[in-house]
Amino acid sequence: MGVVYRARQTSLERIVALKMILAGPFASKQIIQRFRGEVTAAALLQHPNIVAIHDVGIHDGQHFFSMDYVEGQNLSQIVGNRPLPPAKAARYIKLIAEAIHYAHQQGVLHRDLKPSNVLIDSNDQPRITDFGLAKRLDGDSSLTMTGQMLGSPNFMPPEQASSERGKVGRPSDVYGLGAILYHLLTARPPFQAESFESVINQVLNSEPVSPRLLNSSVPPDLETICVKCLQKEPSRRYQSAQELADELNLFLHHETDPRASCHARRTHLALVPAQSSCCEPLGGAGSGDPHWVCSRYRGIAPAKPGRDDHAAEPLHRRYEPGASSLAGRQSATCREVAPGACPSTRQDDLRGFEWRYLWKLCRMKVASPSQM
C-alpha cells in the first residue's frame, strides 16, 4: 500500500522516514482511508519502542507522513535462516509486548504483528512500525470490508482469518507476538505453505510444529510461553501483552539466576514428563534433559486416574526434573498421568494439543507391530 523513503526534514535538519501511498494520486478512497487510519493510530502512541509520527500532509495530491528514521534491519532480515539465541529472542519480545500493551491502553490494536514490522535500532532496541491495519478497541473498524481478510496469513490469529472463530481483540495481538517469537526461535513462521489458502487452512485447523523439534536449543519454559501464545482459542492465550511480558521477564531472570522459577512452570500450567521409554522427547534425538510438555489444566491433575473429585496435586511437584523416582517410573508415568487429566462430566475439558500429541505418542509406542 505504501512506500517509504529516507528523507531530510529541512525545517529541523534531521533525517526522517517519509511514507507515501504507492499508487500516488491514483489511490482508491479505501486505500487513502487506511493510510489516514495508520497515521491516526500511530500518532496516538508515544513509546520508545514504537516508531513515532512527526508530520502528515498532502503535496500535489500525494498523501504522506514522516516518522522516526530507524537505522537498522527488521527482525525478518536479522533472523534470515538462522534462529536467534533464545535469551535474545525473549528480550526482544518482552520489549515489544510492553509496547503493544501500551498501545492497547491507548485503545489501539496493531493487527499486523510480524517480524518485518519490527525494526532493530543501533542500540539493539526493537521499534514497532506499520499500523496500517490498526483498529480502535472502542469501536468497529471502518477499514475492514465485509468478507475481506486483512493481515499476513503466516502470522495471523485464527479469529482474524475467520470471523467464525471469535472477535479480534487484545489476545489477537498476543498471538502475533507469539508468532514473532516462534519465528525468532525457529527461523520460520508458525505456518507456511505454497498457497494462501493452504496457510489459512493450517491457521484454522492445524497446530504449529513444536519449536524444540525445529531447534533443540530452545528452553522448555520458553517453548511453553510461545505455545501458549499460539493457542487457537483466544481465552487460552495470555489475556494481555503485559502478562506475556511479565512471563518473559521471569524466564529471563531464570536464565541469569537458576534459583528463579518460570511462572509458566510454577503456576497455571500442568507439566507432564515426556521423555520416557513410551514417548519421544520433544527436543528430538540427542536431547539429554527431561522435557516438560505443557497442557493447561489449571495447574493440577487428579491425584489418581479416573477420580471424580477435586483432590489434586501439582504435577511439577510430583515429578521434578532429575528426580530419582522419574528414572524408574518414566514408562508408567505418561500412561498414568495423561488419563488423569481427562475431565469428568462435571468438568470443562481443558486439554490442549500437547496432551493429544503426548497421548498419541504413548499409544504408538505401546502398540504391537501388527497394530501399527
> How far is residue 232's CA from residue 20's CA, in Å, rounded to a whole number?
36
336/152 Cα distance (integer angstroms): 42
Gap between the Cα atoms of 284 and 187, Å rounded: 17
60 is catalytic: no
Question: Taking Cα atoms as reference points, which of 148, 150, 153, 151 lies closest to residue 203?
Answer: 153
Q: CA 63, 65, 69, 74: dihedral to nearest 10 degrees?
A: -70
Of the chain, the end-to-end C-alpha distance in Å amounts to 52
Give 257: exposed, middle or buried? Use CB within 10 Å, 0-12, 13-18, 19+: exposed
Annotated catalytic residue, options 55, 112, 130, 289: 112
As a whole number of angstroms, the distance between CA 339 and CA 112 comes to 39
Q: Which residues contact 261 (CB under 8 A, 6 or more apart)?
A: 250, 254
Q: How far is 102 from 121, CA to CA, in rounded Å?
A: 20
The amino acid at residue 170 is: R
Point out the residues that are catalytic: 112
